[in-house]
Amino acid sequence: MEFPELKERVQELKAKKNAVILAHYYTPYETQELADYVGDSLELSRLAAKTDADTIVFCGVDFMAESAKILSPQKTVLTPDPRANCPMANMLMPKELRRYKEEHPDTIVVAYVNCSAEIKAEAYICCTSANAGKVVASLPKDKPVLFVPDRYLGTFTKKSVGREMEVWPGFCPTHQRFTLKALAEAKALHPEAEFLAHPECPEELSAAADFVGSTSAIIRRVGESDAKEFIIGTEQGVLKAIREKSPDKIVYPLLEGNVCPNMKLMTPQKVLWALEDNEYEIKVLEDTRIKAKEALDRMLAL
Ligand code: 13P
Ligand code: SF4
């Protein structure tokens, strides 16, 4: 089926089912075009919490769709492809975290949303890359903190807030591929360009960046900066929104072809199938959901 026909069919089904399509910036460009909203993790969580649609088709990796279900249990949340998971989220098992908590009963656990519902249920508060600093700064000063599962966002936040924390050694394989060598090569080609990095990048990249922020923050920065050219240190799906919002600016991916393969599973064809077949429904055990919601709600209340 050609894209215009597919899009029309998706619109019909969406209206019939009172459905909304939420997509992350890393999904394929055509999927972003089908979406009612495209955003970063924080924005998509907020939208999932307040939409009055009956069905949410979540185009993102599993932890994002799970967050939507945790926040809106009465809604049907569908993922177009249940294989789309985040490797970083699998770098910490609930059992490991429970053991850690038994051994460190005073410790406050901050969970980056890139983790399973079970990990969120064990955490005191969640954060995203857009609000990690704010979340960590809000914690009582006299308690030890464990930040899970991303070592790079954890380390970046520790430095920017000036707060000692233990950091779990997880990482994002896509952002881990960015190196100082790639940056030096890109800078040699585009010496006037600002370098904008996602905080999931290795710490030497964040340290070398002119700006570090979430996907939405990077997109905003291009529009607000006086610079004309930018090297983008995150998954290249964000280039679509940057080019649409700032057509007068020139953007280069730090590493051509560096994509999140899981986000790219969210194809337009699967979005249509999700609506046609009501598949695949996200389910979260009620006990887990209630505890995970507390951690998400604490974050959303800030
Ligand atoms: P954002 O919160 O910036 O959208 O990032 C999500 C993510 O998975 C980055 O890899
Ligand atoms: Fe996970 Fe990295 Fe993909 Fe984000 S880009 S969803 S952190 S694997």
pLDDT per position as a tens digit, 135-183: 999 999 999 999 999 999 999 999 999 999 999 999 999 999 999 999 9
Nearest CA to ligand 1 atom 3: 214
CA of 260 to the centre of ligand 2 (A): 6
Q: What is the 3-state secondary structure (H, E, C) of the chain?
A: CCHHHHHHHHHHHHHHHCEEEEEECCCCHHHHHHCCEEECHHHHHHHHHHCCCCEEEEECCHHHHHHHHHHCCCCEEECCCCCCCCHHHHHCCHHHHHHHHHHCCCCEEEEECCCCHHHHHHCCEEECCCCHHHHHHCCCCCCCEEEECEHHHHHHHHHHHCCCCEECCECCHHHHCCCHHHHHHHHHHCCCCEEEECCCCCHHHHHHCCEECCHHHHHHHHHHCCCCEEEEECCCCHHHHHHHHCCCCEEEECCCCCCCCCHHHCCHHHHHHHHHHCCCECCCCHHHHHHHHHHHHHHHHC
Residue 234's pLDDT band, with cuts at 50, 70 and 90, is very high
Question: The domain 3-85+263-283 belongs to what CATH superfamily?
Answer: NadA-like (3.40.50.10800)
For residue 214, give the ligand 1 atom closest to its CA: 3
Tell the CATH topology of 174-253: Rossmann fold (3.40.50)
Taking CB atoms and a 6 Å cutoff, what residues make up the pocket around ligand 2? 26, 61, 86-88, 114, 172-175, 200, 235, 260, 262-263
What's the rounded Cα separation, in Å, for the pair 156 and 190?
26
**Percent of the chain clearing pLDDT 70 (strictly above):** 100
Asked if 268 contacts 34 with a C-beta cutoff of 8 angstroms, the reply is: yes
CA of 273 to the centre of ligand 1 (A): 25
Provide the residue type at 148 as one letter. V
Q: Where are the domains of the chain?
A: 3-85+263-283, 89-171, 174-253
Tell the CATH topology of 89-171: Rossmann fold (3.40.50)
Cβ of 128 closer than 6 Å to ligand 1, yes or no, is: yes
Mean pLDDT of 234-260: 97
**Residue to probe by mutation, ligand 1, list 42, 45, 67, 198, most atoms within 8 Å of CB:** 198
What's the rounded Cα separation, in Å, for the pair 290 and 257?
39
Q: Which residue has the tokens 């923050």?
A: 217
Q: What is the 3-state secondary structure (H, E, C) of 264-293?
A: HHCCHHHHHHHHHHCCCECCCCHHHHHHHH
Find residue 110's DSSP bridge partners: 125, 147
Please give the backbone phi and psi of residue 46, each rounded to the nearest 5 degrees, phi first: -60, -45
Nearest CA to ligand 2 atom 8: 86
Cβ of 41 closer than 6 Å to ligand 1, yes or no, is: yes
Same topology between domain 89-171 and domain 174-253: yes
Tens of pLDDT, residues 251-299: 999 999 999 999 999 999 999 999 999 999 999 999 999 999 999 999 9
What's the rounded Cα separation, in Å, for the pair 62 and 90?
11
Predicted structure pTM score: 0.96
CA of 15 to the centre of ligand 1 (A): 29
With CA atoms as reference, report the closest residue to 300 among 130, 148, 150, 173. 130
Tens of pLDDT, residues 86-143: 999 999 999 999 999 999 999 999 999 999 999 999 999 999 999 999 999 999 999 9
Which ligand places an atom closest to the C-alpha of 113?
1
Cβ of 150 closer than 6 Å to ligand 1, yes or no, is: no
What Rg do the C-alpha atoms of the chain give, in angstroms?
Answer: 19
Pair of tokens at residue 75: 């809604």
CA of 166 to the centre of ligand 2 (A): 22
Q: What is the pLDDT of residue 79?
A: 98
The widest CA-to-CA distance across the chain, in whole angstroms, is 59
CA of 174 to the centre of ligand 2 (A): 7
Cis omega before residue 149 (within 30°)? yes
| Total number of residues shown for the chain | 302
Q: What is the pLDDT of residue 56?
A: 98
Packed helices 62-71 and 286-301: angle between N→C axes, nearest 10 degrees: 90
- Cα angle for residues 20, 299, 147 (degrees, 5° grid): 115
**Residue to probe by mutation, ligand 1, list 91, 215, 238, 266, most atoms within 8 Å of CB:** 215
